[in-house]
Structure 1
Amino acid sequence: MTALYATQPTPELPSDAEFELLLDAFLSRYRKNTRDCYERDIRMFCGWLTEMGLHPFAIRRRTVEAYVRHMIDDRGNLARSVNRRLIALRMFYEFAIDDDYILKNPCRNVRLAKPKLDLTKKLSLTREEFQRFMRAAYDSNATEYAMCTLMGYLGMRVTEVCELTVPDVLHYSKGHRVVQFVGKGGDAFVLPQPPVVMRSLDALIDELGRDYKGPLFLRRDGSQMTRRSADRVVKRLAKKAAIADMIVSPHTLRHSAIVNAISAGIPLRDVQIMARHRDISTTIRVYDRGRFDLDTHATHGLAAYLGAVG
């Protein structure tokens, strides 16, 4: 492989305009939220290279490794953010290889940062906190209650919820009323609606009007709900529910759905399917280990089995 590269001429560096066209072509393959994230990540890297007088297509692996150290040491970025940016760069360089702009991907053998999982950090609402939160949402209005039931009972992501239209929640499949939506990665998903979710959605649709077919969740000015608006709603409801020992966000509700499903005794494989994790290790590593549930800890059962002297 090395000999093959040695016989190939090094491609000429593209002009700024040609580089922008390539970047636009790469970003156009993704949905808006992913596209925006990848563009920020790539442009941040390019800005760092510009300060060093380097072109993105004239670097080697050691430059990317220096950038990783810069993100961790100088910017104080968490491992999750570092890895997301590194993955975005890796895919962009693979795209550039396909178009013959570079011969090798400088990110290919760069090691991902190792995340540190703090098992003492509270990730989700307890059952009692969740019930208080949902009572606050119910007392607020139909829009906020229905939005929170989708995240808190179905584990949907805030972006997925904000993009729903009325027809998306009125489908039927195998005897169940379901929610149909496009999730992370552009994959289509179908989730059944438990009665509590169905009732909340029906109450909202009744307010919107049965002939209405537009966005399901609207802000007070009549425009479509955004993830920022949803975040403000969730934080306001958490304050109303007197949840003060953690910062509650829309993703906290998704965490809560998954963690409480595990606490309810639902098999991990079924929880993985509900959470739509590609790998069950994600369900175990982040959510099961992060429950911080001392009531069901294995030490209780072990102590009962072994017995005691005193």
Structure 2
Amino acid sequence: MLHATPNGAPVLDPATKLAVDGFLDRYDNPSTRELYEIDLRIFLTWCRTHGIDPLAIRRPQLEAFSRYLTLERRNSTATVAHRLGVVRSFYEVAVDDELLDRNPARLLRVPRVHTDPARMIGLDRREFGAILTAARHHSPDRWALVALLGLMGLRVTEACSIDVESFHQRVERGHQVLSFVGKGSKPATAPIPVPVLRALEEARGDRTSGPLLVRHDGERLDRRTAHRWVKRLGVVAGIDKPVTPHALRRTYVTLALDAGVPPREVQRGARHAKLDTTMRYDVARLDMDRHANHSLAAFVAGAM
């Protein structure tokens, strides 16, 4: 069973700790591991509060946990689906590790998340130009961050991980390149366009090593701080919708397709595992350009 520390955090019995450690140890990416650890902590704390042994839980009790996330924690549908997915995966691994005979979450009802295709479309050319200009005028670090996200399609954790050594004096086949570790711990190398290189060199200054992007305290830029930087730049640029680091990555895909880059090449640039992911962006942007509403309005206008 679970016990509680003075601050309310769950203390795991040996069997549960073995199951948790076995699940988390599957993930090498620190950000993924941290996120899943938070999800499991919420679940295990709920179990402790209700006197439930996580390794003896039943599906109806898991349904109660789902209602707790929705009604008491007021998590969004997407967050509930994510956290229940983590719990279900946790039990799948526990069964595979022979710590349980069955997966109590196998038939757990997970809410469907419906995504508006229009939300996949990033900033338009004018909006991205405005935020890039705002970043350049603010500071070299912010300029480099926006360039990495919007002109090279990096994920925010990838951009934060860049060291000066990742690009300084690195040349392959006549191109200065950026080397980094991408999603799934996959190494990646990409050529650096001249406008991005200028931003990176400004951020580098006279340094030859160490993290490229740093916070005001001199520490490496982290995901949360990067999110605040980008959000603030969106306001400064006069963009009347939320701007996040991932929105800038979506902008990379959308504007590359607008520029006529073949989807397969955009897939390679964005490092999407499947072409279907890239094509969803393409469908979303074409749906807006070729929507039936435009044709109908033009047809009716001819009779007025």
TM-score using structure 1 length: 0.81
**Matched ranges for 1:57-72 at <5 A:** 57-72=55-70
For residue 81 of structure 2, what is the aligned residue in structure 1? 83
For residue 51 of structure 2, what is the aligned residue in structure 1? 53
Q: Name which of 93, 96, 104 aligns with 2:94.
A: 96
Q: Distance in 2 between matches of 1:309 and 1:229?
A: 53
- Which runs of at least 4 in structure 1 moved beyond 4 Å after TM superposition? 119-123, 298-303
Q: Name which of 193, 213, 217 aligns with 1:221.
A: 217
Q: Distance in 1 between matches of 2:282 and 2:68?
A: 32
Q: Distance in 1 between matches of 2:264 and 2:104?
A: 37
Post-superposition Cα deviations, 1:194-243, rounded to whole Å, max 9, x if no partner, equal 121122222333x133xx21111112222111112212221222222112
Q: Distance in 1 between matches of 2:275 and 2:84?
A: 23
For residue 247 of structure 1, what is the aligned residue in structure 2? 242
Give the secondary-structure state (helix, strand or coil) at the position aligned to 1:154.
Answer: coil
Q: Distance in 2 between matches of 1:54 and 1:184?
A: 35
Say whether the 8 Å CA contact 1:165–1:216 is kept in structure 2.
Answer: yes
Post-superposition Cα deviations, 1:149-204, rounded to whole Å, max 9, x if no partner, equal 00011111111111111111243334432222112222222222112112222233
For residue 262 of structure 1, what is the aligned residue in structure 2? 257
Q: Which amino acid aligns with 1:248?
A: V
Give the root-mean-square deviation of aligned CA atoms.
Answer: 3.0
Q: Distance in 1 between matches of 2:64 and 2:277?
A: 29
Identity %: 38
Q: Name which of 105, 110, 127 aligns with 1:107.
A: 105
**Matched ranges for 1:203-214 at <5 A:** 203-205=202-204, 207-209=205-207, 212-214=208-210
Q: Distance in 2 between matches of 1:87 and 1:185?
A: 18
Q: Which runs of 5+ in 1 are unaligned?
A: 1-14
Q: Distance in 2 between matches of 1:309 and 1:125?
A: 33
Q: Name which of 40, 43, 55 aligns with 2:41.
A: 43
Say whether the 8 Å CA contact 1:219–1:225 is kept in structure 2.
Answer: yes
Give the secondary-structure state (helix, strand or coil) at the position aligned to 2:48.
Answer: helix
Give the secondary-structure state (helix, strand or coil) at the position aligned to 2:180.
Answer: strand
Deviation at 1:302, TM superposition (A): 7.0
TM-score using structure 2 length: 0.82
Say whether the 8 Å CA contact 1:127–1:260 is kept in structure 2.
Answer: yes
Q: Which amino acid aligns with 2:21?
A: D
Post-superposition Cα deviations, 1:115-143, rounded to whole Å, max 9, x if no partner, equal 12235658532110110111111112222
Instruction: Return closer, same or farther for 1:67/1:180 CA change in 2, 3 Å cut-off.
Output: same
Say whether the 8 Å CA contact 1:120–1:292 is kept in structure 2.
Answer: no
Give the secondary-structure state (helix, strand or coil) at the position aligned to 2:114.
Answer: coil
Instruction: Return closer, same or farther for 1:48/1:221 CA change in 2, 3 Å cut-off.
Output: closer
Say whether the 8 Å CA contact 1:162–1:224 is kept in structure 2.
Answer: yes
Give the secondary-structure state (helix, strand or coil) at the position aligned to 2:104.
Answer: coil
